[in-house]
Structure 1
Amino acid sequence: MLADFRRWALNDDAGSRRQAAWGRRYRIWLALKGNPLAMLGLAIILACVVLAALAPVLAPYDPTVQELTDRLAKPSAAHLLGTDELGRDILSRLLYGGRVTLGMVIAVVVLVAPLGLAVGTVAGFFGGWVDTCLMRVTDVFLAFPRLILALAFVAALSPGVESTILAIALTAWPPYARIARAETLTIRHADFIEAAAMTGASPWRIVARHVAPLCVPSLIVRVTLDMSSIIITAASLGFLGMGAQPPSPEWGAMIATAKRFILDQYWVALAPCVAILMISLAFNFLGDGLRDVLDPKQS
């Protein structure tokens, strides 16, 4: 079965657009497989996603239940990663916290990637006053540090997961718009764009069907590389008390509550710190691999 698919996908004489599309995807996968660090990053990301999704099954305890008699217990057979200052199992909170943190990151990407793609392609394709207005708005958002602007948005709304997602999304889209605009400027006068216009396609159809798909590979690379900064921003907001509110487990909030015990009871802060480090490195490894595969400038 796999051998048949391989022959079909790698056939240079593709008989349909579907076969050509699957052939390109399979070649990308083969190139990505040749990068050990990218595959390591992908494996870590998939493992974290699976562990977070199966948290209700894998977590040995309820992450919000307090057991003051076991507070600040060292790692043991009963509590593999120890307990926090309220006797809550750190492993359980780490698994459930992964659902909160990764869920926020995925929600942010779902919001910012289409927004940045739309703003960038429209600005680059239409040019003129449209480009000027959209890029000046983009410059305004780029002028502020992301964390400071996100803090201002969360403070203006109210602390919580929804506010954190919205705040990070509002501050994270400008780089994607810049990349999409740059890609659009290089192809907007290409022959196939002129041919599509001559056949009667409207400018909006050309942007949606011909320009935007060509900007997606560069956007995917940028999103993957930017995931680590989004995770750190989300954890920073949680550390400052602006993210998920107690008793909800979240990696940044777990570090905030553990900072008082970091010298004597190091295990309380160690687990969420290692989790943030590992998932951030994994996205960087994967992003570097995708850049080598998808970015033609790297070849």
Structure 2
Amino acid sequence: MRVLRNLWNDKLGMTALLVAAATQLAGICAPWLAPHDPLAVNMKLRYASPSWSHWLGNDQLGRCLLSRLLYGIRPSVLWVMLALIVSVAIGALVGFAAGFFRGWVDAALMRICDVMLAFPGYVMTLAIVGMLGPGLDNILIAFAAMKWPWFARVIRTSVLQYSDSDYIKFARLSGSGPLRIIRKHLFPVAFADVAVLSSSSLGSMILQVSGLSFLGLGIQAPHAEWGMMLSEASEVMFTRPEPMLAPGLAVIVVVSAFNFLADTLQTALDPKLISSGKKQRQREVEAVAYEYTRG
């Protein structure tokens, strides 16, 4: 309730949350919201201007741009979010294990993370897609394989900060097992950092999926995806720029919404973050998020 109250008081954050939620809902309900079949070809409507029956006009094959835009939410946002959830789950297992058990477990797991982080994330994603072949599923596999070390690092940092607290020591003395301590005491304190990093990294992953699809490495025709729609429209961008506007604006708005939401969550989950003695932890999380978006 406190988080929702803080979000409600931040107009920009609340707007970003509504845009992100509405986008995901539109993607889920695309079969009912789309006015036409996104794959239906009608060469009579090739590059047709917006009309009452086709609000955003038609593409080079006469397909409805609005319908393709709605169906494009699924690979561009929803499936990317699934890959993010898998990455967070793997990173959480590694981060909690390393921060709680420490010793050789921490050393071994962090060395694995160091090896994974030694390679530029975007380059490794391209390499994995190059080995597995073009396709959205291979991009999502590459994301899940390359993104989890960032979450493991952030979660480990949060766990190390609180694992020596008095209430954690009391829980151990009272006979609570590792899983119970992690679930009841350590997961809540790490949730804030994970939520902030997840929101910001989701925007980065959407951009990467759109970029790879623009290059022809993502979802393949005739299925709809925002990056592929931009690629198809780029051939006539100087004579007919209209088909590029809808997917281009969709990418900008959705990515901006998740980035603004990440900034708002950072304050909503910990409103005393700026003025308290946690400034150092904030800088560490922001540094990891910055390096993540670069990778």
- 2:242 corresponds to which residue? 267
Superposition map of 1:1-299 within 5 A: 26-295=1-270, 296-299=272-275
The Cα of 1:122 is off from its aligned counterpart by 1.2
Structure 2 unmatched ranges of 5 or more: 276-295
Q: Secondary structure at the match of 2:72?
A: helix
- Per mean C-alpha deviation after superposition, the further-off stretch among 135-144 and 62-71 is 135-144
- 2:290 corresponds to which residue? none
**CA–CA distance in 1 between the matches of 2:145 and 2:9?**
36
User: Which whole-Å deviations, capped at 9, do the CAs of 1:42-94 have from their partners, x for residues lacking one?
Assistant: 11112212222222122121111111222122223332212111111111100
Question: 8 Å contact 1:168–1:234 — kept in the other structure?
Answer: no
- Per mean C-alpha deviation after superposition, the further-off stretch among 164-173 and 139-148 is 139-148
Question: 8 Å contact 1:168–1:233 — kept in the other structure?
Answer: no
Equivalent AA in structure 1 for residue 273 of structure 2: K
Q: Secondary structure at the match of 2:59?
A: coil
Q: Which runs of 4+ in 1 moved over 3 A?
A: 202-205
Equivalent AA in structure 1 for residue 65 of structure 2: I
Q: Please give the root-mean-square deviation of Cα atoms over the aligned residues, in Å.
A: 1.6
**CA–CA distance in 2 between the matches of 1:186 and 1:207?**
13
User: Which whole-Å deviations, capped at 9, do the CAs of 1:221-241 have from their partners, x for residues lacking one?
Assistant: 111122110111111221122
Under a length normalisation based on structure 2, what TM-score does the superposition of the two structures give? 0.88
Question: 8 Å contact 2:27–2:78 — kept in the other structure?
Answer: no
- 1:8 corresponds to which residue? none
- The alignment covers a number of residue pairs equal to 274
Equivalent AA in structure 2 for residue 297 of structure 1: L
**CA–CA distance in 2 between the matches of 1:202 and 1:271?**
53
Q: Secondary structure at the match of 1:173?
A: helix
Q: Secondary structure at the match of 1:275?
A: helix
**CA–CA distance in 2 between the matches of 1:94 and 1:212?**
37
- Asked which structure has the greater CA Rg, the reply is 1
**CA–CA distance in 2 between the matches of 1:103 and 1:68?**
30
The Cα of 1:203 is off from its aligned counterpart by 3.3
Q: Secondary structure at the match of 2:273?
A: helix
- 2:283 corresponds to which residue? none
**CA–CA distance in 2 between the matches of 1:37 and 1:250?**
27
User: Which whole-Å deviations, capped at 9, do the CAs of 1:259-287 have from their partners, x for residues lacking one?
Assistant: 11111111111111100100011111111
Question: 8 Å contact 1:40–1:285 — kept in the other structure?
Answer: no
The Cα of 1:199 is off from its aligned counterpart by 1.9
The Cα of 1:204 is off from its aligned counterpart by 4.3
**CA–CA distance in 1 between the matches of 2:118 and 2:124?**
10
- 1:7 corresponds to which residue? none
Identity of aligned residues (%): 38
User: Which whole-Å deviations, capped at 9, do the CAs of 1:87-107 have from their partners, x for residues lacking one?
Assistant: 111111001111221221221
Question: 8 Å contact 1:119–1:134 — kept in the other structure?
Answer: yes
